[in-house]
Amino acid sequence: MQKQSVKVKSGGMIVKNTWFDVANFIFISLFALIVVYPFYNSVLISFTPQHVYVREPFLFYPKSFTYESYYIVFENKVLFTGMGVTSVITLLGTAYNVLLTLGMAYAFNKNFPFRKLLQYLVLFTMFFSGGLIPFYLLVKDLRLMNTFASMILPTGISITYMTVMGKYFAALPEELEESAKIEGANDIVILVNIILPLALPMIVTFCLYYGIERWNEWWYGMLFIKDAFKQPLQLVLRGIIQAAGTTNTSSHLLEAGIIPFSDGVKMASIVITMTPVMCVYPFLQKYFVQGLAIGAVKG
């Protein structure tokens, strides 16, 4: 017989706590600790002097503070241009991705000639690509080298996201579109006024996915961008980390009495990169949870 304890809350409501609930709470707490501690440790190391970290690399609380790692990161003027470039790429790229993905997912739920063939061709690109060298030559021939467009246009649609959206659209009642067509609405009006409001949680979820991918963009920047003031944030931070890991120290840092701590600079870069995403996520959390539930049920 399962043991249980009974608690009476205000209002007369009875809540039963079983041993399973206690064990579940302990397990979830440990799992949350495993997830949260790496980021907490990154913040600690970013503020910790090198001599303290060498003695105690595993920290639970700060024993000494320093802002030298953040000074090394922020004193680079290219950092702020990198933030601006990444912000532009994130905003324009996310809108570009979502519009294309929505349009294709909605279109593939309509009957038109060669629909199945086109779907198979699209799915084929999910597993096979033309290769890096042809892709590079294509971007070069389109004269997109050293432009923001080279980091936005090549990745238009995620086939996985498009498939999930298409499954959700297919599960919507057909009567909604039929009644709208009786009133004279075309496909675009139906998509904007009926489908999108119903799919808002899913759309916001994929906006978050696409936005994080765009925010972390560095690969196309490394391939196609030569101008340092057009490089995305992640590529700029990569250069700062590499410079901090070398034995040569800049003269202005020596004059300020600062010796770069490579691990501290790495963790400061991680904190700087994650902070904007963490600030935006709480406003999207409600839609994000609903979107995950939709994907689990409808997908």
Rounded to 10°, the helix 200-215/159-171 angle is 180
Q: Which residue has the higher pLDDT, 270 or 15?
A: 270
**Per-residue pLDDT tens digits for 32-80:** 888 888 888 888 888 888 888 888 777 777 778 888 888 888 887 788 8
CATH architecture of 76-298: Orthogonal Bundle (1.10)
Cα–Cα distance, 208 to 215 (Å, whole number): 10
Residue 212 has pLDDT above 60, yes or no: yes
Q: Which residue has the higher pLDDT, 55 or 137?
A: 137
The average pLDDT across 108-127 equals 86
Residue 27 has pLDDT above 50, yes or no: yes
Residue 94 has pLDDT above 80, yes or no: yes
Cα–Cα distance, 32 to 50 (Å, whole number): 28
Q: At 5, phi and psi to the nearest 5? A: -115, 150
Cα–Cα distance, 173 to 152 (Å, whole number): 35
Tokens of 42: 């990154």
Per the CB < 8 A criterion, the answer to whether 45 and 59 are in contact is yes
Name the band, by pLDDT with cuts 50, 70 and 90, for residue 168.
confident
Q: Assign 3-class secondary structure to 151-204.
A: HCCCCCCCHHHHHHHHHHHHHCCHHHHHHHHHCCCCHHHHHHHHHHHHCHHHHH
Range(s) for CATH 1.10.3720.10 in the chain? 76-298
Per the CB < 8 A criterion, the answer to whether 263 and 179 are in contact is no
